[in-house]
Amino acid sequence: MTLDRGFLMLRPANPDDVGTIAEIWQRGWRESHLGHVPDTLVAVRGATSFRTRALERINATVVVDTDQAVAGFVTVIDDEVEQIYVSKERRGIGVGDLLLAEAERLVGAGGHDRAWLAVVGGNTRARRFYARNGWTDEGLFDYPADSVTGSVLVPCHRYIKPVARHPTSH
């Protein structure tokens, strides 16, 4: 689906976007996670890690373009909003709201009636963003973050939101 809202265009990600997605993801992840996640996870989250993971998830990722540049992305796996990041230069213009609404739509289109996501407790900017968009903090849990050395348990808050269920037809 391609949606154009003025200068914000929502579209499926493609392999040409991997480098930009990885850069946005790494910068945003470091900004919001350093000091809030185990050092063992930080040690394995280098540039190659973000690029590899972006490529692996490309078919589950949607981007927002602004003036022909990727401004942010969201990755949805089943009922989980696994990743959502906006480039620092494009924050505050509605990119995050558009991506989160698309994530909610995708979760519902997948036949689910509730979306969820994990956010580290120290990421107060993201926690305020989710609350402002109608998400509820369901409490603390240990999120198993994937790494090349196996899962690393990360203390997170689980946010949930009911979504309209609209199964896709095949």
Can you give the residue ranges of every domain in the chain?
Answer: 3-162
Q: For position 168, what pLDDT does the model report?
A: 59
What's the mean pLDDT in 121-141? 95
- Which residue spans within the chain are E strands per DSSP? 3-5, 8-12, 61-66, 69-77, 80-86, 114-120, 136-145, 152-162
CATH number belonging to domain 3-162: 3.40.630.30
Amino acid at 118: A
Q: Is the pTM above the cut of 0.95?
A: no
Q: For position 170, what pLDDT does the model report?
A: 43
What's the mean pLDDT in 161-166? 90
Task: Please determine, for residue 139, whether its predicted confidence score (pLDDT) is greater than 60.
Answer: yes
